[in-house]
Amino acid sequence: MSSAPFRFFSLHVVRARRVGASLVRVSFAGDDLRHFLSDGFDQSLSLFVPPPGQLEPRVPVELGDGWWQGWRALPDDVRAVMRSYTLRASRRDPDEIDIDFVLHSPAGPASEWASRAAAGDRVLLLGPAVADNRAIRFRPPRDTDLVVLWGDETALPAVSAILGSLPAGMRVRAWVEAHDSGNVHELTSPADAEVTWLHAGRSLAALRAARLPEAAHPYVWIAGESGSVKALRRHFVGERGIDRRRVTFVGYWRLGMTEEELREAG
């Protein structure tokens, strides 16, 4: 088996269900998943779904490392739609993974696909074949005595998985920004966690007003819309004086830009 950290997985939908007013959880299976390995809680994945009118995603995986250029060269109505997501959960016996989709209106091609996903629908996934890989960003230092989390709905799968993974006694303060109040639900953790849901657009003011517990070695993880992420990073580093090396920030999307435009902007 190849030792490459990432590989393509040919998968199919097992089930899809609503987990919020505009959130759909899709479970995928496939023989390839026996090679899927991840030790992370914010594992990033690239998912390829068929464009409207196609039954299977077209990605020239036979080109090896040249797949990207080959995929870009395909006609628009044939080329698979690629979107980045965060792993919500993975299981063995049987091998399955879950990905949560935020449904938008008007719907983009991936949101439209997720809204009608049904058992048997085929997708392609570019994901980890090595458990510790560079697409895992949540890495609190060993001396961390306070974890601070912020995410919007696109980061909700990661926030949920991180909260579920933290040990009892670890102090955690988390904020989740929701555009749709119907997506608000209880997030549980074995840690000493306090979770606050925020209305969209109110995060910076809310966090500026928040009192954080005294901590010698805090660790901050911020993920979601790029503009919000950058503003919150400035707040934690510039206004609260947290060591920038202990602040992880990830822009999952950018307001007013498609993922294709975001990748082109680089």
Interval 50-64 mean pLDDT? 94
Burial of residue 31 (CB within 10 Å: 0-12, 13-18, 19+) is exposed
What is the value of pTM for the model shown?
A: 0.90
Interval 12-20 mean pLDDT? 96
Q: Which two tokens stand for residue 251?
A: 């822009």
Interval 10-38 mean pLDDT? 96
pLDDT at 7: 97
H/E stretch holding 117? none
H/E stretch holding 114? helix 109-115
pLDDT at 205: 96
Q: Which residues contact 162 (CB under 8 A, 6 or more apart)?
A: 41, 42, 138, 147, 149, 221
Confidence category of residue 37, pLDDT binned at 50, 70, 90: very high
Residue ranges and CATH numbers for the domains of the chain are: 6-128 (2.40.30.10), 146-253 (3.40.50.80)
Confidence category of residue 2, pLDDT binned at 50, 70, 90: low
- Tell me which of 98-107, 132-141, 152-161 is least confident: 98-107
**194-204 tens-digit pLDDT:** 999 999 889 99
CA dihedral 126, 115, 157, 197 (to 10 degrees): 150
Q: Residue with structure tokens 């830009």? A: 257
Give the full edge-to-edge strand order of the sheet including 171-178. 192-199, 171-178, 146-152, 218-225, 247-253
Instruction: State the chain's mean pLDDT as an integer.
Output: 93
Confidence category of residue 255, pLDDT binned at 50, 70, 90: confident
Q: Which two tokens stand for residue 158?
A: 């990661």
Interval 45-54 mean pLDDT? 94
pLDDT at 262: 47
pLDDT at 180: 86
